[in-house]
A and B are shown apart, each in its own frame.
Chain A
C-alpha cells in the first residue's frame, strides 16, 4: 500500500531561501514524486503557523508520514516530532532533512546548493516511506544529581538542587571546594570581598544535609542514560579523617617537606599536610601525595625509601629505621646485599646522582646494632595459634618477624646447622659479615621467635607431627640450595664442585679443596661470588667462562667490576663441552660461541662455532649456572609443583594447594633476590594472619598507583646542592687472603647528607611525623584510593577554567623576573590570607612598588598562541587590581597596555571609567613587545598605537593579565562523560543561544567556565540554570527512552555470535533456548555495531534499518 507523504520545505527567512531555491524544490518534488500527497514551503516552518500547516494537512489529508526540510535535526527535530504527534501521527513517521547547515550555509552557488538540497529531500522521502511507528518506553528518574566541580558554578547548582529537596553528590578534584573564586581577593565592579561572598556559600553547601562532598575525586566512568546514570567516582585518599580532624594544625610544623603551593600560585610554599586557607571547606587538613614514588614502586618489598631518607636527613634515625622495618626487617643485611633497584629509578639521578638509599639503610641498621637496642613495633596481644616456618632464609625469617608482631607464636625449622639460609651459606663474608647477619637474627629471637637449626622437615618433623604439636599454619621457604647440572661429560670427576655447594662449604668452614687454577662456569652473582671466594682461598688463577658477552651477564655490574679489580679473568662467548680426567679432573674442553637471534628473554641466543673446541688445563671447575630445589624434599611435600620444580603458590596470597600451607621465596619464585624473598615473607605473614584470624584467604592490600616519573620544576627547586656521598672502601691490597668486609659504611654525617638530598618527589614522604603529633589520631597514611559507585539522575559539569601559562610569552619574562607576576598571583598578594598578609609588595624584595604596569591579552586574542578568543574578564580584573593597588598606595601609578577595553556588563564600564578618572590609571593602547631589566628596574617596551609610536615604561612590578583556558585535564573529563569539546577544550553546549547549559547528551548539563570563559555572575547564573534543568527532570520523575535499539530476527540468526563479542555494553548474549542472539534492550545503546557486523543481516537497529538507509541512498542518487 502506497503511503501518503507530506513534504515541507522551510525558507528560514533568507537563511535557506537566500541560496536554495525553495519554491523550485517544492514544485519539482510535488510533480515528480507520486508518493508525495502535498509539498509546501513556508518562511518559518518552526513557527506556530508553520507547524499548524503540517498539523492541518495531517488531519485533513490523512498523511502517513512527513518530511521536513529545514535546519539541523539537532536543532528542531524534537519540535517537529512534537508537532506531528499533536496531530495524531507517530513521531517516528517523521524525517528531517538538513538543508541549512549542510546546504545554504556552505555554498554561494544557488544551483549547486539547490540541487544538493533537492537530493537530500528526495532521500528523506524515500526513507520515510519505510518508517515504522515506534513507541519509546518511560523509565523512572533517580532523584539524585552529580555536580562535577566545586567552584562557584557547581556550588550554586548544588544548592539549588539540594534546597529543592534532592540529593546532591558534589565531586571536587582538589582538597577543598570554592574553586578559583577562593583565590580572589575582591570582585569587580563592587570591590566586594570575594571570600566574604563565597565562604557563606561554601559553608552552606558543606553543612547541607542533602549534599555529600567528595573531595580529591574524579569521574572515572559514566554509563546508563538520562535519569539512570551509573557513575564511578575515583576518590584519592585525604589521609586525614574529616570526622576526626579538629583543624588544630599541630601536624603542620612537624612536616619536614616544603612544596610549592598551587593555591598561592607559586608565591609561597606549603607542607604536603595543609589546609589552603582558614575558612576552607572541608575545614580539615589533608595530605597531598603524588602517588608511589619510583623508588618505592621499584622495590620488590615496597620499602618507603622517601620516608626513611627524609627522617635520616632530620637526624631521626630510630624513626627512620622504624619506617624501614614496616617492610624490611633486616636493615643492616639489606643495606649490604640488596641490588637496590630503587636507586636506578631515583629521580635525583635525573638531576645529578641518585640517592645512596641502600648505604643509608645500612647505616641505620649498623647504628642500631652498635647501640644494641632493637627497634620494632610493639608486639600485639599474644594469639594462641602456632605457626611453623620451614627454612630460616630471608623469606622465612621475614615471615617470622611480621607474624611475631601480630602476636603469633612462631617456630622456624632449619635443616642446616645455622640460620640465615643463603644469607649464611650463599653470600661470602666479604659482602655480608656473619656477625652482622647473626645480630639481626638474634634480634628476631629476642622478639620470641624460636629458631630450631639442624632439624630437617620431612624427616625429623612432618606436617603430621607438627599439627599434632598444635601448629595451625605452615610457611614453606626452603630456598634453592642445589646447583644445576651442566649436562656434559665428566661432571662426576673429583675437582668439580657446584657453585652453591662451594659457597656453602666456605661459609660453614667445611673443607673445599680448591686447586691453583679454577674455572667458574656461569655469569650470575653466584658465579662471581665463587670466583672472588676462590681468590681469597688461595687460587692463583680464576677464570669465569660465560657463554654470552659481558652485556648479557645477569650479575650486577659492581660485582663484576670488583671481581675484575681483584684479578678474576673473564672468558666470554665460551661454553664447556667436556670435562676430562682420570678420576680426577685435569683438563676442560670448551667451544667458542657466537650470538645469534634474540630468544624469548630478549637476549641474543649463543650458538657454538663449529670446530672451535679448545682444551685447557684446570684443577677445579665450579659450575654456577643456576640453582635448583632438592627433588627428594620437594616431591614429598604433597603440594602441587610447577613444571620447573618450584612449589605452586597462588599469586597474591601465596597459598599452596594444601590448606593452611603457604610457600614463598626461591622455592616458589625460582631463583630470585634477597629483597624479593623478604617481600614474600611479609606477604605470607599477612596471608597466614588472614587465614588464622578470619579463616579464609584475602588478596593483599592493593598497592598505590605509581606517580609520574618526569622531574618537575618544583623538584629541581627542592634539590639541595649536596653531592652523593662516596662509600669508604677497604683498599684492594688489604683484601687478599681474607674475607674482611670491603665496604666500610657511611658515617652519621654522610647518611644525614644523603637524606637531605631526597627530593621527596612523592610530596608527602609518609615519614609519620604528623601521625605521631596528631592528638585525635586523625591521620591514616595507609588509606588507599577508593572507587565509589553512584546512581545518578542528572549530571552538572562545572569543572571550571585554568589560567594561561604566561611562560608561553618568554619575552614578558614571567618566571625569569620575580616581579613579573600573573594577575592571579596579584590576587594572592592583595589577599589578607595570602603570602604577604594582604600587602601589595614586590616578591623580589618585599618593597612597595610605585609603578605597576598591567599587560592585557596575555594568552587571549592572540592567534599565534592558539587562543583566538577573548577571555572576557581580564580587562575588568586589571581595572579592579589597579584600583586596589591605588587604594593600598595612593602615590603609586598604574599603567595598562590594552588592545580594546571590553567592559560589557552591569556597572562595568562605569567602574573602568573611574579607574581612569579617579585612580589616574594611564591606559596605553597597544601590545607589549618585551619586558626587560635595565639598571635594576623593569622596563616595559610596547607601542602606543593611538599615538603611532613606540613607548617604554619603567615599572617596579609587571602584572600579566593571563587569559582563561580550559582545564588541562579536560580530555579525561570529556571522555569519562562522553562530552564534546571545541578546539580550545571548552565543552560544547547544545545550542549557542537557546541551549547554553544543555549538552548533546540528555541529562548532562554545563555550568561556569568549563563551557567558556565567563565572570562570576554568569557562572552563578549558569549554575542556577543547570540546577533548574536537573530539577525539571526530577520533578517530572520519568524520562522517555528512545526506541532506537537493536532487534534480532531469530529466523535469520545463524548463531555465529559475532555480535556477542562486538557489543561494548554486553547487551547481546546468545540464547541457548532460541539458538539465536538475544538483545537486552535496557543495556542496548543503539550504536548498530552488531547490525553492521551481522553476516546474515539478522540484526537491525530500529529507525536505522537497512531498508531505510538503502532507500535513502537510492532516493538521494535517483
Chain B
C-alpha cells in the first residue's frame, strides 16, 4: 500500500481555478503529484459523462473546480455545474464510488494557496481510501 499513488483527474475552469493552479506553481507551493489537470473553459462545461469516463478509465478520484458563485466568467456556468453535481454524486454513490472520490470546489484565481491545499488534502484522503479497482 505504501507505493500506492492515486490518480486524480482535475477539470479546472480556464478563468479561475486553472489560473490558481498556475499561480500555485509559480509560487512553488508544493503539491502531491497525483493530480492530472484537464483545462476546460468553464466548470459548467464538464459533462457528467466525462467524470464517469475518468472513473471507468482508471482514475481514483475526480475534482471539478470553478469560479466562486457570482464570479463565473460565463455569468452562471458554475451554478449549472453545481446543480448537476448533486445528481452525479448520487449516481456515483449508486455505482459504489466512495463519496470522497468526487468533489466540486470553488477556487478563485487569487486562491493559489487554497488550490494547493485542496490538492494535497484530496490526494491524501484518496490515498487513505485506497485504489478503486
Contact = CB atoms under 8 A, between A and B. Distances in A.
B110 A988 contact: yes
A1086 interface: yes
Given A1087-B44, A1113-B54, A105 B28 contact: yes
A107 B36 contact: no
Contacts of A974: 71
B33 A1093 contact: no
A400 interface: no
Interface string B81-98: 100100000000000000
B104 to A, nearest CB: 13
B26 interface: yes
B2 interface: no
Contact of A103 (B7, B33, B42, B57): B33
Nearest to A107: B33
Interface in B8-41: 9, 15-16, 18-19, 21-22, 24-26, 28-41
Interface stretch (A36-44, A116-124, A619-627): A116-124
Interface stretch (A371-379, A707-715, A977-985): A977-985
A273 B44 CA distance: 49
A1117 B47 contact: no
Interface string A995-1029: 00000100000000000000000000000000000
Given A98-B37, A107-B30, 7 more contacts: A116-B33, A120-B36, A978-B73, A1089-B45, A1104-B40, A1104-B41, A1116-B7
Nearest to A110: B33
A1085 interface: yes
B50 A1113 contact: yes
A102 B37 contact: yes
A435 B1 CA distance: 97
A980 B20 CA distance: 10
B9 A1116 contact: yes
A118 to B, nearest CB: 11
Contacts of A102: 21-22, 25, 35, 37
Contacts of B57: 1113-1114, 1117-1118
B63 interface: no
Contacts of A1088: 40-42, 44-45, 77
Interface string B45-68: 111111001100111000000000
Contacts of B111: 983
Contacts of B41: 1044, 1086-1088, 1101, 1104
A341 to B, nearest CB: 33
Interface in A1063-1083: 1064-1065
28 contacts: A74-B18, A102-B25, A102-B37, A105-B25, A105-B26, A106-B33, A107-B31, A107-B33, A116-B34, A119-B36, A974-B71, A980-B110, A988-B19, A988-B109, A1000-B19, A1044-B41, A1062-B80, A1065-B75, A1085-B74, A1087-B77, A1088-B45, A1089-B80, A1092-B44, A1097-B47, A1097-B49, A1101-B41, A1113-B54, A1117-B57
A72 interface: yes
Enumerate the 3 nearest inter-chain pairs by beta-carbon distance, A residue then B residue, closest first: A1088-B45, A101-B25, A1087-B74
A982 B74 contact: no
A1109 B51 CA distance: 11
Given A119-B36, A988-B19, A1064-B74, A982 B25 contact: no
Interface of A: 72-74, 98, 100-103, 105-109, 112-113, 115-116, 119-120, 123, 974-975, 978, 980-983, 988, 992, 1000, 1044, 1062, 1064-1065, 1085-1089, 1091-1093, 1097, 1101, 1104, 1106, 1109-1110, 1112-1114, 1116-1118
Interface of B: 5, 7, 9, 15-16, 18-19, 21-22, 24-26, 28-42, 44-50, 53-54, 57-59, 70-71, 73-77, 80-81, 84, 108-111, 116
A363 B47 CA distance: 69
A1089 B70 CA distance: 16
A1109 B9 CA distance: 12
Nearest to A1110: B53
B25 to A, nearest CB: 3
Nearest to B59: A1117
Contacts of B71: 974-975
B33 A1112 contact: no
Nearest to A72: B22
B16 A1117 contact: no
Contact of A101 (B5, B21, B73): B21
Contact of A975 (B30, B31, B70): B70
A1091 B45 contact: yes
A112 B5 contact: yes
A971 to B, nearest CB: 9
Which of A98, A102, A119, A1106 has the largest count of B CB atoms less than 10 A from its CB? A102
Contact of B110 (A72, A107, A981, A1106): A981
